[in-house]
C-alpha cells in the first residue's frame, strides 16, 4: 500500500463533518475513489458506496460513518509525538483512511469488496445513511460478511448490543421556595431513581461464545420552572444497551425492573422511543 494513511486521515479530520453536515467529506471521499479502476461508485445523498465486480465467490462489506459528534473544544487538529488529535480522528476517520487505502488493492483480494461510507451514525437511527441506502438500493448492502471500522484498539470485536432510550417523568407540587413544605420537589424525587440506575445489577451474558456487557446510564435530566419555585415536574432520560438475548419488549421490561418505581413515587410516567415516537407505558 503506497498511501500515507496518517496524512489521509489528517486531511479528513480537517474537514468538519458533524452529523447532518457530511457533504464536504462525502465530496472528498467520492473524489478520492473516482480514480480507481475496478470499482463502481454510487452516491446516495451523502453516502458513498463503491463495489468491485470480479465475480469472486464471496463478498465482504467494510463500512464506516462519515459523521462526528459535535465539537467539544477539539475541532482543531494537532499532531504531537507522532499522534494525531482532533474531532473524529479515532471515531472514525482513521478507519475511513484505512478503507480508502484498501481501495488501491481491491483487485488482489480473494473476495469482492464493498466499501460503504455513510452519514448520520451519531444521531437517531431514523437519520441513518445505511437506512437511506437500504431504501434506495438495497442490493448495495448484500454481502456474506461485514466489518465496521469503529475504533477497537486494533482488536476484532464480534457481536452488537441493542440500544433503547427511556424517559421517566416524575411530578411534584409547585410551591414557593420560601415555603417548600407546601409543595413536593419533583427534581428531588429523581434522586433515588437515578441512584437505582447508577447501581443497577445488569446481565453480562455469554452468547455463542461472545461476552456481552449491558449498560444502563442516566444521560439527560431536565426540570424546574424558576429560581424561586419548587418544581412540579422533572424527567430523566436513560439509555439502555442490552444484549441480543432480549427482544425490544423484554429489554423494556428489564429496564422497568431496574428502575423499580415504588408506590411512594406516585405521579410518574414512563415511556420509550419506538418507531419514531414516544410510547407511554403503564407503570
Where in the sequence numbering do the catalytic residues fall?
A: 67, 121
Distance in angstroms (rounded) separating the CA atoms of residues 260 and 196? 8
- The secondary structure of 134-189 as a DSSP string is HHH-GGGG--SEEEE----TT-------EEEEEEEEEE-B-EETTSGGGSB-HHHH
β-strand 59-65 against 112-118: which pairing, if any?
parallel
Beta-sheet strand order (sheet of 112-118): 39-44, 47-52, 112-118, 59-65, 145-148
Amino acid at each position: 500500500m503506497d498511501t500515507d494513511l496518517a496524512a489521509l486521515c489528517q486531511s479528513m479530520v480537517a474537514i468538519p463533518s458533524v452529523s447532518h453536515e457530511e457533504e464536504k467529506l462525502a465530496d472528498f471521499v467520492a473524489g478520492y475513489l473516482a480514480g480507481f479502476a475496478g470499482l463502481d461508485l454510487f452516491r446516495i445523498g451523502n453516502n458513498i458506496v463503491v463495489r468491485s465486480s470480479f465475480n469472486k465467490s464471496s463478498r465482504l462489506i467494510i463500512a464506516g460513518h462519515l459523521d462526528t459528534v459535535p465539537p467539544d473544544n477539539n475541532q482543531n487538529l494537532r499532531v504531537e509525538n507522532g499522534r494525531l488529535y482532533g474531532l473524529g480522528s479515532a471515531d472514525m476517520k482513521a478507519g475511513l483512511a484505512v478503507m480508502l487505502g484498501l481501495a488501491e488493492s481491491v483487485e488482489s483480494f480473494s473476495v469482492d469488496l464493498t466499501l460503504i461510507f455513510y452519514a448520520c451514525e451519531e444521531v437517531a437511527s431514523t437519520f441513518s445513511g445505511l437506512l437511506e441506502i437500504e431504501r434506495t438500493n438495497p442490493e448495495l448492502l448484500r454481502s456474506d460478511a461485514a466489518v465496521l471500522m469503529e475504533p477497537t484498539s486494533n482488536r476484532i470485536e464480534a457481536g452488537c448490543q441493542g440500544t433503547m432510550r427511556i424517559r421517566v417523568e416524575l411530578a411534584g407540587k409547585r410551591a414557593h421556595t420560601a415555603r417548600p413544605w407546601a409543595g413536593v420537589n419533583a427534581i428531588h424525587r429523581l434522586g433515588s431513581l437515578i441512584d437505582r440506575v447508577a447501581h443497577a445489577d445488569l446481565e453480562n451474558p455469554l452468547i455463542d461464545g461472545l461476552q456481552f456487557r449491558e449498560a444502563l446510564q442516566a444521560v439527560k435530566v431536565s426540570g424546574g420552572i424558576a429560581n424561586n419555585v419548587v418544581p412540579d415536574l422533572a424527567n430523566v432520560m436513560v439509555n439502555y444497551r442490552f444484549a441480543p438475548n432480549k427482544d425490544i419488549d423484554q429489554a423494556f421490561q428489564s429496564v422497568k425492573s431496574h428502575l423499580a418505581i415504588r408506590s411512594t413515587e406516585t405521579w410518574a410516567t414512563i415511556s420509550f422511543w419506538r418507531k419514531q415516537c414516544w410510547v407511554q407505558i403503564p407503570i
